[in-house]
Structure 1
Amino acid sequence: MDRPAIESPVHPSAVVDAGARLGPGTRVWHFAHVCAGARIGAGCSLGQNVFVGNDVRMGDRVKIQNNVSVYDAVTLEDDVFCGPSMVFTNVHNPRAAVERKSEYRRTLVRRGATIGANATIVCGVTIGEYAFIGAGAVVTRDVPAFALVAGVPARRIGWMSRFGERLALHLDGNGEALCPHTGDLYLLQDSVCTLVPAAQP
């Protein structure tokens, strides 16, 4: 079988359909399948048994762990992490006997977000920048930037820094906290968490 000309290392057992675009340094591991319309950035890693649909867009440095299917209508921005066996969906009310390909709901995972192992992302939601989805959570609605969510259905239980450390902030209201690792300052105002830009010298 002829393989498409791509710069990135692809395991011999993987299938990358002609037309798929993979950026430099992207690796595709055992038994993965990347469909022809997929657009994947540089420095990504697609683990064993990963499936990537036609209408999928991935930024740079995205890491997809084993046994994850990234179906049509999913967009992953730069530096997104998808844990082992987590699940995306794209139809809200599937029936085997009812064709609903024209009804896909788009899912957007913004830069730096983490989705834990075995989590489920119900289609049509946006996961904010650097949000953290706990293992096994079921996300049914939008997740704010820097939010830590867990449970079924997922509920906000805290806030996380860009580095992936829990912040000493109340769930709601106002306050400020430093990342325990980097010392970056985060501001919580009206239940919206933001990273305060460092002062320029």
Structure 2
Amino acid sequence: MSNIEITNLTKKDTDNVIEIFSTAFKNYPLMEFFFKDTYEQSMKHLLKSMCDEKSIVENLLLGAFLEEKLQGVAFITPPKLTTSNDNTESTKTASEEQFAIAIGEEALMRIEAYSNLKKTNKPSSPHFYINTLGVHPQSHGKGIGSALLSQVHQMSQQHSDSQGVALDTQTQKNVGYYQRFGYGISNTVKLENVENWFMFRPN
């Protein structure tokens, strides 16, 4: 099997990140809930906001390269931010404001409802949070997702404060996948018609 290289991505990788995530999450329940029939355009705005300089400085954007081509991406929030005061008001960046205008008020409200649900169900102890992990469909079964997860697990184990890694998923198939890596279900909550499984893997 070819070697998979995991590296930190930067803003210059935005176009490739958009390609990976847009393809990986097409017809995914949460994205359909967010964007309804405006998926293609809205997803691009969401991913551009995610690749904003401020976002990349505060979070981790990991890329998995197979034969020097980006095939998987994970967007992760480190312990300091996952345990910060959620009531603190932060100034919106220009890209965040553009994103809010581009997707419309209804989609923004659905995203905020999910964000609030996520805050309510995240672990109280310091942890890494995998917000999004996507693999290009043509590279499924090649160990891309496993390599990204292993990297985050290693980062958590080496971090002085982190107690583990948390994530959420919206498909039963993914639940079984993550359980094979040691994740347990901490809660299951429905957001309108979308089932959300919140999971945690202790170090």
What's the TM-score bracket when you normalise by the shorter of the two chains? Answer: under 0.3
TM-score, normalized by length of structure 2? 0.24
User: Greater helix percent: which structure?
Assistant: 2
User: Greater strand percent: which structure?
Assistant: 1
Task: Return the index of the structure with the highest Cα Rg.
Answer: 1
Question: Which protein has greater RCO, CA pairs closer than 8 Å, 6+ apart?
Answer: 2
